[in-house]
Structure 1
Amino acid sequence: MKETLYFYNSNSKKLTERYEKADVSEVQKLLLQTFEKNSNLLEIGCGSGRDASFMTRNDFNIIAIDGSKNMIEEAKKIHPELSNNLFHKTLPNNLEFDKKFDGIYSIATLMHLSKIDLEETILKIHDLLNSNGKFLMSVSLFRDDIDEHGFDDRGRYFLIMSLDEWINLLEKIGFKILEAKTNSDGLSRDGIKWLTLVGQK
């Protein structure tokens, strides 16, 4: 995770510009369908603040976190309306809040964790949800740009698991799977396929 965070801290400005242009209309549509208006949501791995801003404009109450301090600073610059709701927290150790949430979502973040850290993070997500709260996650299901150890040429780590492995992990922790869908890449990269899962506590 350390090498991955180094990449995001070192390239935060360029990445922010790129993320703001990505076509994530399918995932954002699913976010609107999954969570009830005016509910209190936590976003894990907010990056440029793109989705947190989108959800705020659509009448959701958002707290958003990211493991990269520099990404948080860039997000505050381009989405000043989020400034008081963006926080630097790393996974899994800093995922602590003194409140619970109606819903939690994480787009393109959890696949950067090791299996051990991933399981601990999803356990914490389950604990942070109110009764019947929903969790939406989007991760890369396949990538052709990583080596046999899961690293790309920029030093970022990606955990690749099958659809069944992701579903089994969520169910083991106590989530009921409501939806599972795969989709192509929002930045039009041919060798990357994404998985979006929605679970309920």
Structure 2
Amino acid sequence: MASITADYYNNNAQSFSDSTINVDMSALYNAFLPLIKTHGHILDAGCGSGRDALYFKQQGFTVSAFDASEALASIASEHLNQVVAVNTFQQITAQNQYDGIWCCASLLHVPKDELPQVFLKLQNALKPNGVLYVSFKYGTQERVHNGREFTDLNEDGLTALITHHTELKILKQWQSVDQRPERESEVWLNALIKAVPVL
């Protein structure tokens, strides 16, 4: 995560956590969790407040989590009652470790030219047949908005990234609207992506 974006989250961690902690994520959970084996290991990558990681833990999954913001990782550690690492996507080194990786509104802060390498790291971190969830704000540009850097993607952009640079397989892509109050005009691209075993 660029320092400008990390600075934003460190300076606004509590207000960001407060604004996102109660968002209804059930539709996304219902799309993702049935694809993860019972009591499997899920990585919440860029976990923010720890909202989703806590839900996964409550459903009986083993959960690991990290965030690039020290302040958000601290808040998430309290919510989860376990240590949340301070890491970036570029620092992922795990191999064949996770049944699922959840990247909800987090990969969108990775510069577009670094996404191919990051997707390879995510691919390597997944077990064979593991599933990755990602979401991006819908669009085609890189931009700075309210002190944060964003990489926007549409279906074609994500498909190109996955098919040209990885052995991952896109299971499903769909659009959704933001669930936060007064943000209904914002459209998100969601995708479920599978780690296909190499024969």
User: How far 1:99 moved relative to its partner?
Assistant: 5.6
CA distance in 1, matches of 2:162, 2:117: 11
Answer yes or no: is 1:174 the counterpart of 2:167.
yes
TM, length-normalised to structure 2 = 0.90
- Structure 1 residue matching 2:180: 3-state secondary structure: coil
TM, length-normalised to structure 1 = 0.89
CA distance in 1, matches of 2:11, 2:133: 28
The gaps in structure 2 that reach 5 residues or longer are none
The equivalent residue for 1:76 is: 77
| CA distances 1:64-118 after superposition (whole Å, capped 9, x unpaired) | 11100100111122332xx13x2111131x1123662122120001111111221
CA distance in 1, matches of 2:41, 2:79: 22
The equivalent residue for 1:185 is: 178
Identity in percent: 25
The equivalent residue for 1:198 is: 192
CA distance in 1, matches of 2:159, 2:142: 23
The ranges of structure 1 where at least 4 consecutive aligned residues each deviate by more than 6 angstroms after the TM superposition are none
The equivalent residue for 2:66 is: 65
CA distance in 2, matches of 1:128, 1:20: 27
- Structure 1 residue matching 2:89: 3-state secondary structure: coil
How many residues were matched structurally?
192
- Structure 2 residue matching 1:104: 3-state secondary structure: strand
User: How far 1:161 moved relative to its partner?
Assistant: 2.2
The gaps in structure 1 that reach 5 residues or longer are none
CA distance in 2, matches of 1:176, 1:115: 19
* Aligned AA (1:3): I
Matches within 5 A, 1:40-189: 40-80=41-81, 83-84=82-83, 86-92=84-90, 94-97=91-94, 100-142=97-139, 150-152=143-145, 154-172=146-164, 173-188=166-181, 189=183
Aligned CA-pair RMSD: 1.8
- Structure 1 residue matching 2:48: 3-state secondary structure: coil
CA distance in 2, matches of 1:121, 1:68: 18
* Aligned AA (1:174): E
The equivalent residue for 2:29 is: 28
Contact 1:47-1:75 within 8 A present in 2 as well: yes
| CA distances 1:15-35 after superposition (whole Å, capped 9, x unpaired) | 111111222221122222221
CA distance in 2, matches of 1:15, 1:42: 21
Contact 1:142-1:191 within 8 A present in 2 as well: no
| CA distances 1:128-161 after superposition (whole Å, capped 9, x unpaired) | 1111221111121149xxxx76111x21011122
- Structure 2 residue matching 1:151: 3-state secondary structure: strand
